[in-house]
Amino acid sequence: MENSLEYARSLDQADVLKDYRDAFIIPVEEGKEQLYFLGNSLGLQPRRTAGYLQRILDQWSRYGVESFFMGEDPWMHYHDHLIRPLSRIVGALPSEVTVMNQLTVNLHLIMVSFYRPEGKRNKIICEAKAFPSDQYMLETHVRSHGLDPEQVIVEVAPREGEHTIRHEDIVEAIDRHKEELALVLWGGLNYYTGQVFDMASITDAAHKAGARVGFDLAHAAGNIALDLHAWEVDFACWCSYKYLNSGPGAVGGAYVHERFHKDPTLNRFAGWWGYDKTTRFKMEKGFRPIASAEGWQLSTPSLLLYAAHRASLEIFEEAGMDRLVEKGQALSDYLLFLLDEVNRRSGNRQVEVITPRWRSEKGCQVSMLMHSRGREVFDALSREGIFADWREPNVIRVAAVPLYNRFEEVWHFATILDKVLNG
């Protein structure tokens, strides 16, 4: 790799996905396109989203409630448009995927089925410093079973002086608690460090310990290669406002392995939207779930959220997940190379990259631990039109995403950072 604008531009020239940038609205300030590296927080708006929303509004104004059954695209079948692209993104059978609610809500709901503490088998293993919403979800969910979170939740943390969690420590913790373990709930990619976890072998270890296993894929869906069905993951949930570009507060997604779809022993919280579709409108007593992941739905969906989701998923279908993953890795590889250059020039390690460097352990996000003047540097980057984010106490996160970021933007970012740090 080379640290030059010409080289970065040559990568863009050779990029087979380069035209997809035009499918998105890039933020502009005083006539200048900003360097948006926050696709890991809120993905940019696809140009086609407004049109999809408008079609829902038009159908509503023309047919009112009959829109569920009438018009060129009856709303009763709208969910079907989302399932195939999503199943390819997460590596699942179409029947294993559903679109509903938001992420934390879905984790609570699916935990109702998959966290069934019995006697001393009541422990949950999770990552230390998981995203706060996951921590609050676990804490309160455990309490709802009359259990003490302090006793039941086992966190696995990085070793002293390290930033990421060693895989062998996760497997060792699972093995150590195998007699009491009910569930392993883990992130696919840690929101703070950008570390990707080996979900296949965590699943394997959890199953060998007789426990269930689920993943929070907030930072993984649409970012890294996933193969949930083949890995035999029991359940997973994700949001779609990050890499999946479906808008603020976008509708979430969930996966449940097919071996559970017809299991009558699973507990659930039900609602009419999860009821067998062929007889739902008979409005009869007694819940009969749809025999797929859709059986976990509760409420009438928001068609507007569906429409925004569909607009973005269509772009994923066109671009192809394999090509997106490949380019996402190439973008973060280039950023890591340039950050090494910044450190080399300053003669000391002002920027410590805490994201692993191996492709199997990272996605698009690179997290930089700032050893001095962190907040000052971050503010200076923001003044230069860079959208990155600051995480207390001293981490700057940057994600160059394959659908709309360019190698040239990554080069500009590193050059501006170099100027701010090294003068």
Instruction: Give the interface with ligand PLP as residue ranges (CB under 6 A).
Output: 102-104, 131, 133-134, 187, 191, 216, 218-219, 239, 252
CA 416, CA 296: separation in Å to the nearest integer?
Answer: 48
CB of 37 to ligand PLP, least distance (A): 16
Q: Of the two residues 34 and 135, which places its CB atom closer to ligand PLP in the complex?
A: 135
Q: Of the two residues 103 and 354, which places its CB atom closer to ligand PLP in the complex?
A: 103
Q: Of the two residues 10 and 133, which places its CB atom closer to ligand PLP in the complex?
A: 133
CB of 161 to ligand PLP, least distance (A): 25
Cβ-contact 98, 252 below 8 angstroms: no
CA 97, CA 274: separation in Å to the nearest integer?
Answer: 13
CB of 345 to ligand PLP, least distance (A): 33
For residue 181 the two structure tokens come to 């373990």
Other C-beta atoms closer than 10 Å to the C-beta of 272 total 13
Cβ-contact 275, 300 below 8 angstroms: no
Q: Of the two residues 218 and 313, which places its CB atom closer to ligand PLP in the complex?
A: 218
Cβ-contact 189, 365 below 8 angstroms: yes
Q: Of the two residues 23 and 97, which places its CB atom closer to ligand PLP in the complex?
A: 97
Q: Virtual CA dihedral for 406, 407, 411, 417, nearest 10 degrees?
A: 60
CB of 127 to ligand PLP, least distance (A): 10
Q: Virtual CA dihedral for 15, 337, 201, 132, nearest 10 degrees?
A: -100
Q: Of the two residues 104 and 223, which places its CB atom closer to ligand PLP in the complex?
A: 104
Q: Of the two residues 305 and 403, which places its CB atom closer to ligand PLP in the complex?
A: 305
- Strand, coil or helix: 176: helix
CA 204, CA 185: separation in Å to the nearest integer?
Answer: 13
- Per-residue DSSP letter, 197: P
CB of 121 to ligand PLP, least distance (A): 26
CB of 230 to ligand PLP, least distance (A): 23
Other C-beta atoms closer than 10 Å to the C-beta of 319 total 18
Using a 10 angstrom Cβ sphere, with 0-12 exposed, 13-18 middle and 19 or more buried, the burial of residue 138 is: buried
- Strand, coil or helix: 38: strand
Residue partners of 44: CB distance under 8 A and separation at least 6: 24, 25, 26, 27, 36, 245, 404
Cβ-contact 70, 77 below 8 angstroms: no
Q: Of the two residues 41 and 415, which places its CB atom closer to ligand PLP in the complex?
A: 41
CB of 193 to ligand PLP, least distance (A): 12
CB of 219 to ligand PLP, least distance (A): 6
Residue partners of 373: CB distance under 8 A and separation at least 6: none
Q: Of the two residues 95 and 133, which places its CB atom closer to ligand PLP in the complex?
A: 133
Cβ-contact 312, 46 below 8 angstroms: yes
CB of 31 to ligand PLP, least distance (A): 32
CB of 69 to ligand PLP, least distance (A): 31
Residue 13 falls in which region: left (phi positive, over 0), alpha (psi -120 to 50) or beta: alpha
Q: Of the two residues 216 and 418, which places its CB atom closer to ligand PLP in the complex?
A: 216
